[in-house]
Amino acid sequence: MGQGAPRRTAAMMATMAVRETPLMPPSHCPQILRKIAGEVALEEGVKVPESRLEVRVEGSVGAIPARAFLDVLRTSLQMLDELDRALQSPPSQWLIEDLRSGSAVAVLRREGVASGETPQRLVDGIRQLREAEELPRFFSPTLAGHLVKIGKYFLQEGISGISYRVPNAALSDQPEPVTGSVVANARASIEAVEQTVGSAVGVLDIINLRRGRHVSLYDEETRRAVNCRFPKEHLDEIRDALGHRVRALGTVTRNRRGQILSVDVDQLERLPDESDGPSVADLVGIAPWYTGSMSTDEYIRWVRNE
């Protein structure tokens, strides 16, 4: 290998091996690659931002309704909870780290969690909705509905705007406003325009029996929650399948971009769980041909020109 070739870390080579081996089921790759990506960040000394979110309600001093500000905070926490579930983040509590006057500003910090992925995904999703009427990755229809609700507070006297910011973000810490276009696109993203016979695959998460019979299914490709309605006779089957991968077959409702919003379930099919697949430890040595006749240590020294 020439002197000008890019240096590759062990974690990067492991990623290549995972991608190239035919023995790796595609559904197992995201979890393993996320683990490898985390190891690369540690190896390369990348600083992971702490989990903080600034919520700003713009308005004249002394004119912002207290109840509206509290409702914005409550809805913001509901959006963060939705993203935590989609990102499979461990349960934890959001704390108020700072309150500032002028405009009403609250800085939220998640207790015991260093990664800032959840608030960053929220800000990134709002930014995407400014341009397109589709659900951003990790955004469930429920979360988009919360953004529509946030937009209603613009109508209240004393409030001129609402924005979100991730303090000290690696890429940009500029506030992302919830504009009229964001609200309009969020509303359009949850508008049902098509119903067809089809299916959705994911993990069954939470049953809700208060208003009909509903269960959340987390799509394994988009990491987005899909609301599934099911008949009474499927209740025991649904309960037994909680926390497991399934294929829900029935009438699928989609938005105008073809994204699944909900499924009226006629049939449920259990699928092998991702945990049933190989672990990272199982992958060690899975492609011995990758380094030719060299040992792993010899190959690493070779690509590093050591």
Residue 36 in any domain: the answer is: no
pLDDT at 132 over 60: yes
Is there a single domain that holds both residue 76 and residue 182?
Answer: yes
Domain assignment present for residue 289? The answer is no
Predicted pLDDT of residue 225: 86
The pLDDT of residue 278 is: 53
When divided into structural domains, the chain yields a total of 2
Residue 132 lies in a domain: yes
- Position 192 scores a pLDDT of 95
Torsion of CA 234, 83, 124, 26, to 10 degrees: -60
**Claim to verify: residue 72 and residue 182 sit in the same structural domain:** yes
**Same-domain status, 205 and 247:** yes
Q: Are residues 138 and 163 in the same domain?
A: yes
Q: Is 80 exposed, middle or buried (0-12, 13-18, 19+ CB in 10 A)?
A: buried
The answer, yes or no, to whether residue 265 has pLDDT greater than 90, is: yes
Lowest-pLDDT choice from 15-19, 191-195, 214-218, 287-291: 15-19
Neighbours of 23 (CB within 10 A): 10
Of 98-112, 205-219, 272-286, least confident by mean pLDDT is: 272-286
- Whether 30 maps to a domain, the answer reads no
Q: Which amino acid is at 214?
A: H
Mean of pLDDT values over 148-175: 84
Q: Which residue range is the domain that position 213 belongs to?
A: 194-276
Lowest mean pLDDT among 147-161, 177-191, 236-250, 272-286: 272-286
The reply to whether 199 falls in a domain is yes
Averaged pLDDT of the chain:
79
pLDDT-wise least confident of 38-42, 88-92, 130-134, 157-161: 38-42
- CA separation for the pair 75, 64 (Å, rounded): 17
pLDDT tens per residue across span 208-249? 887 778 888 888 777 888 899 998 888 889 889 888 999 999
* Residues above pLDDT 70, as percent of the chain: 71
Per the domain annotation, does 20 fall within a domain? no
153 and 260 part of one domain = no
In-domain check, residue 29: no
Comparing 92-96, 156-160, 208-212, 233-237, the range with the smallest average pLDDT is 208-212
Residue 276: CB atoms within 10 Å: 11
- What's 213's domain CATH number? 2.40.50.140
The answer to whether residues 88 and 164 belong to one domain is yes
207 and 259 assigned to the same domain = yes
pLDDT of residue 169: 64
- For the record, the structure tokens of 223 come out as 């990491």
Q: Residue 19 pLDDT more than 50?
A: no
In a domain, 268, yes or no: yes
Q: Which residue has the higher pLDDT, 160 or 155?
A: 160
Token pair of 151 as six digits: 């937009």
Which of residues 68 and 287 earns the better pLDDT score?
Answer: 68
Residue 45, sorted as left (phi over 0), alpha (psi -120 to 50) or beta, turns out to be left
pLDDT at 279 over 70: no
pLDDT score of 30: 43
DSSP secondary structure, 151-184, as one string: HHGGGSTT--EEEEE-TT-SS----EE--HHHHH
